Amino acid sequence: MFLKAVFALPMMALALGAAKPAPPAAPVATPSIVAPAEIAANRANHLFLQLSNGRTVEVLMRPDLAPHHVERIQTLVRRGFYNGLSFHRVIPGFMAQGGDPKGDGSGGSDLPDLKAEFTGVPFLRGMFGAARSESPDSANSQFFIMLGRTSTLDNNYTVLGRVVAGMDAVDAIAPGEPPEAPTKIVQAWLGDAPRPPLPEQVPAPAPAPAAAPAPVPPPPPAG
């Protein structure tokens, strides 16, 4: 029976006109790790993170790669969501993760989770990616910055952009899972708006005018 099945296939192909197999599909081009000029020129795509280690990181985000994830970061930054949050999981040579309001990797924003936007862009040192749970469509507010090359993340996590200035600040983030004294995001802002003042730089309200002293009653008459 096995031989009969094998020999039946050429006869069927012949009866159908022996159609030629379709040519192989052209390989899909991997997007460049270098942002297009129009992406870099848009200041809203530049994310700044001032860290509690006294240094600042600049990330060039890539809406051409992950438009919905970048829009989410921009929305949360404009809300002030990231101010004061810590890097709760930092593994030397691998990555530094933050963006969780709970500080333990289990939290997110009040906005819905995002669908994956995977690309072939490699996770090189300095890449800015979206953290997620086991489900590919579970990214929300958390992100990570690569401290070294990790190929196993390629096509499995969403690339949002890349650090273009301040990688020394990233290298100085306190390590640990969680760190004993975690590095925090003092303030996050986008390049298309003036940097808001730090909390200690907000002018204090003018003191209320001092109340006039109550009149001193005259001494009682001497008896």
pLDDT in tens, 76-111: 999 999 999 999 999 999 999 999 999 999 999 999
161 neighbors 46 (Cβ within 8 angstroms): no
**Sorting pLDDT into bands at 50, 70 and 90, what band is 126?**
very high
119 neighbors 153 (Cβ within 8 angstroms): no
On the CB side of 34, CA atoms within 13 Å amount to 2
Tell me the H-state helices in the chain. Answer: 2-15, 37-41, 67-79, 167-171
Instruction: Report if pTM > 0.85.
Output: no
Spatial distance between the Cα atoms of 21 and 34, rounded to a whole number of angstroms: 37
pLDDT, residue 222, reads 55
More confident position, 204 or 87: 87
pLDDT, residue 3, reads 33
Spatial distance between the Cα atoms of 24 and 19, rounded to a whole number of angstroms: 15
Domains of the chain (ranges, CATH numbers): 44-190 (2.40.100.10)
Counting other chains too, the contacts that 39-46 makes at CB distance below 8 Å and 24 or more residues apart are 39/63, 39/64, 42/192, 43/190, 43/191, 43/192, 44/74, 44/190, 44/191, 44/192, 45/70, 45/161, 45/191, 46/190, 46/191, 46/192
Residue 29 has pLDDT above 80, yes or no: no
Give the contacts of 143 (CB within 8 A, at least 6 positions apart).
73, 97, 98, 99, 128, 129, 130, 131, 160
The alpha carbon dihedral of 165, 167, 53, 58 has a sign of positive
